[in-house]
Amino acid sequence: MNKQVSALLNDQVNKEFFSAYLYLSFSNYLERQGLSGFANWYYVQAQEERDHAMLFVKYMQNNDIEVTLKAIEQPQNTWENEFEVLKEGLTHEIYISESINNIYAVAIEAKEFRTTQFLDWFIKEQGEEETNARELIRKAEIIGTEGKALYLLDQELAKRIYAPPSLVL
């Protein structure tokens, strides 16, 4: 496999594990704020990101690419309010989308078509991730930070459950 594509895939493993850490940090913060439903939403998100990292690892292993696990940066753990968390979540998803798109572009240039096929699922997934993050922000902006509406949204988010990805490698 092309060395640049391999290096980018390996970097993506680290980015996905950092995403899991970041969302777990969001979850911890939101739990401390008494928003256990919001905390659950990001806890599930952390599980998804961990599994995304593992999918990249497995793809690399299946293609005889050495996986180098790097240190994962400590995410921040305090924010002004829950809206800051939601906005940072969207910003991070956009960053991950750009990273995956970059790998895709380099893979196309290197004629690594098997890698582009693998990345197709992630590109679709990132579209869903960005949409979900935007919808969560819109809902939170509509209801504000006070009263029964926030409680109801928190209860709705508490119902989210984890479903492992169905990508076949």
* pLDDT band per the 50, 70, 90 thresholds, residue 150: confident
Give me the pLDDT at residue 106, please: 98
Give me the pLDDT at residue 169, please: 63
Domains of the chain, first to last: 3-158 (1.20.1260.10)
39-97 residue pLDDT tens:
999 999 999 999 999 999 999 999 999 999 999 999 998 999 999 999 999 999 999 99
Q: Please say if the pLDDT value at position 17 is more than 70.
A: yes
- Any residues with CB less than 8 A from the CB of 29 and at least 6 apart, and which? 77, 78, 79, 85
Find, among 16, 94, 97, the residue nearest to 54 by Cα.
16
Give me the pLDDT at residue 166, please: 75
> What whole-number percentage of the chain has pLDDT above 90?
89
Give me the pLDDT at residue 56, please: 98
The Cα angle at residue 45 between residues 152 and 87, in degrees rounded to 5: 70
| C-alpha count within 13 angstroms, C-beta hemisphere, residue 119 | 23
How much is the pTM? 0.94
What average pLDDT score do residues 131-137 get?
97
105-123 residue pLDDT tens:
999 999 999 999 999 999 9
- In whole numbers, what is the pLDDT of the chain averaged over residues? 95
Find, among 18, 2, 15, the residue nearest to 116 by Cα.
2
